[in-house]
């Protein structure tokens, strides 16, 4: 049995990792769940920026939430949570995962850092960038919106690890207030939330 430690704190991206672990039915040890974990020596030994999430899988540290989601899905091929490496569907997993981070999440997250009173003090906020962040996020969200026009899931006919990576980026967009004009994406998040193991809260 694989030994898994997850460094987590409920409202952070560690929710993605808890979600896939629960979908995979794998037991794990939870560490963190306390703000004191950020930047701690223990976390820095696993995640070089001291951020969450991070994991230790059979004594090997792994960081970046989507990398952890992918690695966990690969541990249980029989669960069908991800296509095997080398298949085209796996390339599409990589495509949508990279897209989620590069074309959605970064804009939503930067907007939140510059508009919410957490992580960055209010006097460091640059409100002038917000319209640009919304426009950039909107370009990415429009692509997802079209992809979901006739599909329930982003990569194939059934739920997969790809959905976790994409959904959380959309969810951050919703938290930033950028998802109102994307009904397919909102319905997708609602659909995923019906899953027993989903860790996302209601779409803002």
Ligand X SMILES: N[C@@H](CCC(=O)N[C@@H](CS)C(=O)NCC(=O)O)C(=O)O
> Judged by CB, which is closer to ligand X: 98, or 151?
98
Return d(Cα 173, Cα 43) in angstroms, integer: 27
Q: How far is the CB of 128 from ligand X (least distance, A)?
A: 22
> Judged by CB, which is closer to ligand X: 38, or 188?
38
* Three-state secondary structure readout of 37-78: HCCCHHHHCCCCCCCCCEEEECCEEEECHHHHHHHHHHHCHH
Give the interface with ligand X as residue ranges (CB under 6 A).
Answer: 12-13, 38, 51-53, 64-65, 119
Q: Are the beta carbons of 172 and 112 closer than 8 angstroms? A: yes
Q: How far is the CB of 78 from ligand X (least distance, A)?
A: 27
Enter the tokens of residue 69: 């989601």
Q: How far is the CB of 51 from ligand X (least distance, A)?
A: 3
Q: Quick check: helix, strand or coil at residue 104?
A: helix
Ranked by CB distance to ligand X, the top (closest) residue is: 51
Q: How far is the CB of 80 from ligand X (least distance, A)?
A: 24
Q: Are the beta carbons of 14 and 6 closer than 8 angstroms? A: yes
> Judged by CB, which is closer to ligand X: 119, or 187?
119
> Judged by CB, which is closer to ligand X: 11, or 77?
11
SS3 content of the chain, % helix, strand, coil (to 5): 55, 10, 40
> Judged by CB, which is closer to ligand X: 24, or 175?
175
Q: How far is the CB of 149 from ligand X (least distance, A)?
A: 27
């Amino acid at each position: 049995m694989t030994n898994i430690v997850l460094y987590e704190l409920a409202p952070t991206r560690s929710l993605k990792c808890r979600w896939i672990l629960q979908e995979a039915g794998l037991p794990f040890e939870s560490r963190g769940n306390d703000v004191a974990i950020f930047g701690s020596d223990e976390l820095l030994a696993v995640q070089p920026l001291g951020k969450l999430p991070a994991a230790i899988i059979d004594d090997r540290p792994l960081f970046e939430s989507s990398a952890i989601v992918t690695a966990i899905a690969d541990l249980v091929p029989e669960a069908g949570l991800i296509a095997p490496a080398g298949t085209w569907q796996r390339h599409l997993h990589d495509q949508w995962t990279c897209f989620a981070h590069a074309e959605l999440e970064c804009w939503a997250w930067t907007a939140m850092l510059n508009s919410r009173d957490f992580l960055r003090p209010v006097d460091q906020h640059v409100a002038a960038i917000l319209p640009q962040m919304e426009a950039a996020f909107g370009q990415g969200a429009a692509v997802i919106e079209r992809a979901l026009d006739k599909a329930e899931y982003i990569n194939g006919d059934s739920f997969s690890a790809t959905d976790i990576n994409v959904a959380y980026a959309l969810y951050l967009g919703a938290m930033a207030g950028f998802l109102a004009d994307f009904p397919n994406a909102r319905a997708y998040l609602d659909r995923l939330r019906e899953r027993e193991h989903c860790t996302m809260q209601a779409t803002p």
